[in-house]
Structure 1
């Protein structure tokens, strides 16, 4: 089961009442927030364990089902583009067939989200497409993961998880 931990802003936008979930593997937990890029609303997702991030656009207020569908499909596309084996991705995403919404619970992840948002603000016009931007963001080192690249940490953990 995936747990998506929405910020208060996103909870209000989607008009959702969160349910509290404890004892979830950080690999299956994602924080999410609204960010503005090019004056358009995007949703930023950051994995709790690896700090892997993906950004989704084209979701409006009250479109939770569309948001969840786009999250799963975008995550799949991105992981394939990073060269992760399809069977490993499918085994990971199988856990996400059941997705629950909760409130944020980690100031560390929120700090990383703020940092990623700042990077996006500065570089928003430099990338040809979403995939290129996501790849660049996931090769930026972060202190909470011992100055490693989020994609490297995620690849290592997802392989362990699928064994």
Structure 2
């Protein structure tokens, strides 16, 4: 594997680069040393498809073993994309270690610098304790970038195509479950049916639910997972509460609480088949989720919405009564406030359920 370093990175590594040699561009990366949140970081950009891998908060001891860290970072990022382990292993075997060289040319450096700029957009998502920033890497790879021919590409999509060609078979594969997610409303029937790969994290599942119900992740959320055991003669017994931020641990509860971020669905599903997702604690939107079926070999790395009905309330609507008033104002075109309500609805992303739009967003934005 050829790692073509900027002068800054070569100086940090204290090495002399080897002469540049032509290799398969799929195994060639440009690398730059940048600062993210005042911490030294390395951004790798693939020569063939502009796919990005971010290594963060590197110390002096880390630069002494950067070979290992680069290889582990590429592996972890590919696995976070839900690429099969055997594909990742074969890619690393074919890469055959690391050779450091100078940057190739000004064009490649310019492309790398643009990727570094995009990485900076995700600084708020950086995990302080981890060198391997798979979430920031994956989000960066969903942005459109120029292809050098007047068009645009998504680096993630291009890398998936290149790895598929390299492997010669589907690069994704996992168990999946079909679930029905129903928003609890008294006067409206709002539900979605999805198929979800079980190697997704609950953080990604949260993103999927935001997409299918048309929300924008403005508010806090949490998951409850239930056993089939009846709890206090009125409900199913909660097994665990999964939360999206550490502040949620300040809320006292008898239920075991964990951060959802790195917990994979298969740790709990399909062993447990009933879940509840609560979003916006002020409005208290509650979505009941039932696991309906299991698929053994699912060849996508993202969820798919199979069916659905009804429109969910937009952001910042404080409960079902407020939603009823919102709908009345929206439907009454003669009302003075109708124009304002329509502007508010558009600003908050309110729209009729459209399965084609939803599935396009599920493909790219469950990160």
Do the structures match in fold with TM over 0.5? yes
Distance 1:156 1:93 in 2: 17
**Does the aligned pair in 2 maintain the 1:8–1:103 contact within 8 Å?**
yes
Distance 1:84 1:115 in 2: 26
Match of 2:176 in 1: none
Q: How many residues align?
A: 161
> Relative contact order, CA 8 A, sep 6+: which one is greater?
1
**Does the aligned pair in 2 maintain the 1:30–1:46 contact within 8 Å?**
yes
Matched, 1:117 2:116: yes
**Gapped runs of 5+ residues in structure 1?**
none
**Does the aligned pair in 1 maintain the 2:44–2:53 contact within 8 Å?**
yes
**Structure with more of its chain in strand, by fraction:** 2
The alpha carbon displacement at 1:162 in A equals: 2.6
**Gapped runs of 5+ residues in structure 2?**
128-132, 169-367
| Compared CA separation, residues 62 and 102, structure 1 to 2 (3 A) | farther
Match of 2:10 in 1: 11
Distance 1:108 1:157 in 2: 21
Query: What is the CA RMSD across the aligned residues, in angstroms?
Result: 1.9
Distance 2:162 2:11 in 1: 32
Match of 1:131 in 2: 134
**Structure with more of its chain in helix, by fraction:** 1
Match of 1:46 in 2: 45
| Compared CA separation, residues 134 and 63, structure 1 to 2 (3 A) | closer
Cα displacement string for residues 106-163 of structure 1 (whole angstroms, at most 9, x for unaligned residues): 32332222112222334412x1542221111000111126411111111111121233
TM-score w.r.t. length of structure 2: 0.41
The alpha carbon displacement at 1:63 in A equals: 4.7
Matched, 1:55 2:54: yes
Matches within 5 A, 1:1-163: 2-61=1-60, 63-125=62-124, 127=125, 129=127, 130-144=133-147, 146-163=151-168
TM-score w.r.t. length of structure 1: 0.89
Distance 1:59 1:46 in 2: 18
Cα displacement string for residues 10-67 of structure 1 (whole angstroms, at most 9, x for unaligned residues): 1111111111132211111000010101101001110000100111124334754521
